[in-house]
Structure 1
Amino acid sequence: MSAGRWGRWYFAVQALAGAAWWVSVFLVPPVRAATLGSLDPVVMAVLDVPLFVVASALAACAIRWAAILATGWTLLVTVSLGIFAAVTQEAGIGALLMVGAAVGSVTALALVLTGGIPRAWIAIGPFAFRPADASASTVSQLVRTAVEIVAFWGVFLAVIPAVLRFFELRWRVTVALPPGAEQFAVVIGIVVVVLGSVVGLWSAAAMATTGGGTPLPAAMPNRLVIAGPYRVVRNPMAVGSIVQGVGVGLLLSSWIVVVYAVFGAVVWNVLVRPVEEADLEARFGEPYRRYREDLRCWVPSLRPVAARS
């Protein structure tokens, strides 16, 4: 099945799910309370049925403007309902469902309009893959790497999880843990964050000292790095980051943050990894192809490959 057809199938499912949800809203009061709160269902239906349900059905029939309309409306409702739920502490389930619908609609729209996920859009501007300055000293690469790590971890492991936890609490979609389990989760979270951080720092140091570059695309290593954790897994930085994210979720007792970490792994694997690996193959050729054959991307090997750069 073509990518565009997958996108149309998604819109078809979304149209059916939306129609079923609206029937439930008017027939099942608990569904209305959980997903709309005190919002007037009649007013919402007048807007949402044509712009979400009907537009999604038309998108399923390969009408492109309808796919754009349905996706735009979905994003607008997601933001609006998310703010409403955070302010009033109502309709948290509805806000959560709309986040999922927004992700699905954007992905389906990309499939319908471009026939695939536009990975090339990722590696543009400041995110374009470029080798680091070969004349830069190891010390300067280590300093730059440290600054990048602080900024990256600050945003993705502190700011975003804090925001997600805030909405999780305000939307009242937390999952209550058994007595004593929360303290246990915190301890496990600390251990997991430390392990992930060690892997990340070790990987970054290997890039700076052995590869003459940094973890970020704008200043990638000039040499193929097969040292440190890169001897047992191809992408230890990604593995470490996902482990850190899960650990932060445990620390915060937040299932949404854990999902965020896992979702980040999926996004990186589907969107970023193919572009990065194509760049590495173009720059390093056969040595990289042999390295890719020797080690897996996510699962560490029990038999490290020979160190080289």
Structure 2
Amino acid sequence: MPSSPLLPPDARLGRLYFAAQAIAGAAWWIGVAMSDTVRELTLGQLDPVLVAAFDIPLFVIVSVLVAVGVRTAVWVVVPWTAVVTAGMALYATMTGLAGWGVLLMIAATVGSAAAGLLVWLGRLPTEWILFGPFAFRLAPPSSTAAHIIRTTAQIVVFWGLFLAAIPAIIAVLEHRWNLHLPLPTAVRWGGLILLVAASALGIWAANAMSTRGEGTPLPSATARRLVIAGPYLFVRNPMALAGIAQGVAVGLMASSWLVVVYALCGSLVWNWIIRPLEEADLTERFGAPYLAYVHAVRCWMPQLRPFRAEVNIR
């Protein structure tokens, strides 16, 4: 793939992705042609000749065009990948066939969309997620009781959505798409223990945020004060750590490996997209005290000794 020094590094990375995607797509179609197993697992009873007539030019060849520098081809391959994914998901849900094909296409859609942004904009515009309840706004001055009530409401809504509703849908689709792999009973009990521990951590962190920070965990009503208390003395992001662990625990309890993957993907999104934005906001608002805290306390791995805020931060 030719490379231009005038292109930003992220744009070159996007083009490299589309080169890899073209190779993977071609390899998959070769597998479909040579193996009945590959065809049945990924296409079900769909006519491979008919599907190939559209997919090879619009997915494989157009990916090659993006890789060699035809930027406008992004507007063909990304929508096509999304349309195929939606169609495959509908087909698999109706028939119970081609579940592995759906998973591959979901991965391709996410990858194509991200790489397309890199090629077109030269970067990932992560700031686009800062809208509505995810936009950074200070919590209005209020009593501690009011902050606790708001925090409790947020926990009910977000835990209900991300730890109950979405995992339930994923688990149902995992069964319907014939992707289910049952887990041992001991693993499911381990998930329950993990869920209780992670939920306790999340509640502890939320309480510290609402009582010490004069705010809530939600960015749209974020804490007015720098919180270095409770679990924040041991790890910088106990709420995120608790949320990821809760998601994994729900997956284990439901015997759903796809829910576990969903939770782990959430950790990647949080670490690479949300965390940098949050840390930039905290640095802007709290400056040196926050930077000293970042230097002393790890992001993900809790430390045994609590951070001495009264000694290290003035």
Determine if the alignment matches structure 1 residue 68 to structure 2 residue 75: yes
1:273 aligns with 2:275: yes
Between the aligned partners of 1:124 and 1:285, the Cα distance in structure 2 is 24
Q: How far apart, in 1, do the equivalents of 2:137 and 2:155 lie?
A: 18
SS in 2 for 1:174: coil
1:106-117 correspondence runs (5 A): 106-117=113-124
Whichever residue aligns with residue 153 of structure 1, its letter is W
Task: For residue 202 of structure 1, report the CA deviation from its aligned partner.
Answer: 0.6
Give the drift of 1:63.
1.4
Give the corresponding residue for 2:201: 199
Which residue of 2 is the match for residue 224 of structure 1?
226
Cα deviations across residues 261-303 of structure 1 (Å, max 9, x unaligned)? Answer: 1110011000000000000010011110101101011001111
Equivalent residue letter for 2:92: A
Question: Is the partner of 1:173 in helix, strand or coil?
Answer: coil
Residue in structure 2 matched with residue 47 of structure 1 by the alignment: 54
For the pair 1:77 / 2:84, whether they are aligned, the reply is: yes
- CA distance in 2 between counterparts of 1:302 and 1:117 reads 36
Deviation track 1:237-266 (CA, whole Å, cap 9, x = no partner) reads 000000100100100111111111111001
Paired residue type of 1:88: T
Instruction: Tell me if the contact between 2:182 and 2:256 (Cα under 8 Å) persists in the aligned partners.
Output: no
Fraction of identical pairs, as percent:
51
Aligned-partner residue type, residue 294 of structure 1: A
TM-score by length of 2: 0.94
Q: Which residue of 1 aligns with 2:166?
A: 160
Could you tell me how far apart the structure 2 residues matched to 1:68 and 1:189 are? 43
Q: Find the counterpart in structure 1 of residue 252 from structure 2.
A: 250
**Out of 160, 176, 185, which is 1:170 matched to?**
176
User: CA–CA distance in 1 between the matches of 2:231 and 2:286?
Assistant: 19
| Aligned residue type for 2:176 | R
Q: Does 1:118 align with 2:118?
A: no
C-alpha distance in structure 2 between counterparts of 1:133 and 1:176, whole Å: 47
Q: TM-score with structure 1 length normalisation? A: 0.96
Name the amino acid aligned to 1:74.
T
For this pair of structures, how many residues does the alignment match?
304
Q: Mean alpha-carbon deviation: is it higher for 220-229 or for 75-84?
A: 75-84
Q: Is the contact made by 2:241 and 2:300 (CA closer than 8 Å) also made in structure 1?
A: yes
Shift of 1:27: 2.0
Counterpart contact for 1:117–1:271, Cα < 8 Å: no
User: By how many angstroms is 1:307 displaced?
Assistant: 4.7
User: How far apart in 1 are the matches of 2:288 and 2:243?
Assistant: 28
Deviation at 1:125, TM superposition (A): 3.6
CA drift of 1:153 comes to 0.4
Tell me which residue corresponds to 2:191. 189
Contact 2:201 2:238 in 1 (8 A): yes
Conserved 8 A contact 1:133-1:219: yes
* Residue identity in the other structure for 2:61: V
Structure 1: state its 5+ residue gaps: none
Q: Would you identify which runs of 4 or more consecutive aligned residues in structure 1 move more than 3 Å?
A: none
Q: What letter is aligned with 1:221?
A: A
What is the CA–CA distance in structure 2 between the aligned matches of 1:237 and 1:47, rounded to whole Å? 45
The 1-side partners of 2:228 and 2:182 are apart by 44
> Following TM superposition, by how much is the alpha carbon of 1:306 offset from its aligned partner in structure 2, in angstroms?
2.2
